Amino acid sequence: MSFAPPPPPGFVPPPPGMPPGLPHPQQMDSMRMPSEVLAQKSHKWVQMQNKRYGEKRKAGFIDTGKQDLPPEHVRKIIKDHGDMSNRKFRNDKRVHLGALKYVPHAVLKLLENIPCPWEQVREVPVLYHITVGVYVACYASRKA
């Protein structure tokens, strides 16, 4: 059985029924702030929280997105990168090896975008990495 240590000298124990550690009701009345001060502090706190968590505006320009390039652009890039034995692409081999994990997804998107038998040509927007490691057709046809 353990006993609590005795209170320090000058400590007034709480009245019965009150949890220890809370001040006496007489002390609570003297600790209360006037309503004007409380309202002012509350208003200041709300302003600070709005500034802290509110909507932030960043200075600078607004990116409107990239413009679609013509199909000839992608054809030229594919033709240029067709032969990876070229000296120019020596450093890109690591990137291409890393892009291999996306090939199944790229093939799936390619199969999804094969033109139907009644369509002559289907132009689809293409997303490709800056190093031209992988191309993905980024259009999903609506299935009825």
135: phi then psi, degrees, rounded to nearest 5: -115, 140
Examine residue 102 and state whether it is found in any structural domain, yes or no: yes
Instruction: Tell me which of 13-17, 40-44, 95-99 is least confident.
Output: 13-17
Question: Residue 1: is its pLDDT beyond 70?
Answer: no
Q: Is residue 57 part of a domain?
A: no
pLDDT value of position 39: 93
- Tell whether 83 is covered by a domain: yes
Does residue 42 form part of some domain? no
Query: Is residue 62 a part of any domain in this protein?
Result: no
Strand bridging mode 135-137 / 126-128? antiparallel
* Tens digits of residue pLDDT in 38-81: 999 999 999 999 989 888 777 666 667 777 788 888 888 878 77
The residues near 103 (Cβ < 8 Å, ≥ 6 apart) are: 134
Question: Residue 112: how many CA atoms within 13 Å on its side-chain side?
Answer: 16
Burial 5-38 (b: 16+ CB within 10 A, else e): eeeeeeeeeeeeeeeeeeeeeeeeeeeeeeeeee
101 assigned to some structural domain: yes
The per-residue pLDDT for 130 is 72
Range of the domain at 109: 71-137
Residue 43 lies in a domain: no
Q: Is residue 109 part of a domain?
A: yes
Band of residue 97 on the pLDDT scale cut at 50, 70, 90? confident
- Number of separate domains in the chain: 1
CA dist 18 to 21, 23, 24, Å?
9, 9, 9
